[in-house]
Amino acid sequence: MAKIIVLIGAPGAGKGTQARLLQERLGIPQISTGDMFREMKTLDTPLAREVQEIMASGKLISDDITYKIVQDRTSREDCRNGYILDGYPRTAVQAAQLEDLAKEQGFDIQAIEVDVPRDELMKRLTGRRSCSVCGEIYNIYSKESVSTRLATYDEQTKPLLDYYENSGRLGKVDGTGELEQIYTQLSKLVTG
């Protein structure tokens, strides 16, 4: 049955990395709200500037703006057999909006937590990396921004784990170790 796979995890947990593997191997698209917002970087509009400022601070873009881009992206033809959401939903309001969208599109939702301990996340987030959109190498985020992102995750996104667990739609993978080992756990949940 076609479905929406929702990857939930703290910043740096490896959602994007695993979602891209799922996309390659299952042939359904990976949709990352973070990547879509980063793509707006090249635009010089008031909305793009606002998005950039909020992202730099580590806080979340408004639920309604985020919903619009998800609704728009998932209405494309390549999503007809389901899709992978990476970094969405991130708030209770977004989770409720996604329920309506899934109903409209005729998909079930399967949520999977990518679990990584805090000290490992800090290591990953304070290193250097290249932008998944433009390839540019950058010193990821300031310490303040990293702690704001983690605190935002704890306050607004972590409660979604209970939400999906309570409706019997949550699986979990250990997000530490080799990429292939993590992918094996993930694909068992997705295809099993």
Q: In this chain, which residue has its C-beta nearest to ligand AP5? A: 34
Element (H, E) at 174: strand 170-174
Residue closer to ligand AP5 (CB basis): 28 or 51:
51
Q: Which is nearer to Mg ion, 16 or 82 (CB)?
A: 16
Report which of 145, 128, 126, 146 is spatially closest to residue 137, judged by C-alpha positions: 128
Q: Does 11 contact Mg ion by CB under 5 A?
A: no
Which segment (12-20, 21-29, 40-48, 97-105) binds ligand AP5 by CB under 6 A? 12-20
What's 30-99 look like in SS3? EEEHHHHHHHHHHCCCHHHHHHHHHHHHCCCCCHHHHHHHHHHHHCCHHHCCCEEEECCCCCHHHHHHHH
Whether the upstream peptide bond of residue 11 has omega within 30° of 0, thus cis, is no
When asked if residue 58 is in the footprint of ligand AP5 (CB under 6 A), the reply is yes
33 near ligand AP5, rule: CB under 6 A: yes
Contact status, residue 11 vs residue 153, Cβ threshold 8 Å = yes
Q: Which is nearer to Mg ion, 34 or 175 (CB)?
A: 34
Check residue 98 for interaction with ligand AP5 (CB under 6 A).
no
Nearer to Mg ion, 11 or 82 (CB): 11
What are the backbone dihedrals phi and psi of residue 21, each rounded to the nearest 5 degrees, phi first?
-65, -45
Task: Establish if 54 lies at the interface with ligand AP5 (CB under 6 A).
Answer: yes
User: What is the nearest approach in angstroms of Mg ion to the Cβ of residue 168?
Assistant: 26
Q: Which strands form 83-86's sheet, in the order they lie side by side?
A: 30-32, 83-86, 3-8, 108-115, 170-174
- Binders in 24-43 for Mg ion, by CB under 5 A: 34
For ligand AP5, the binding residues (CB under 6 A) are 9, 11-17, 32-34, 37, 54-55, 58, 60-61, 66, 87-88, 90, 94, 124, 129, 149, 177, 179, 182
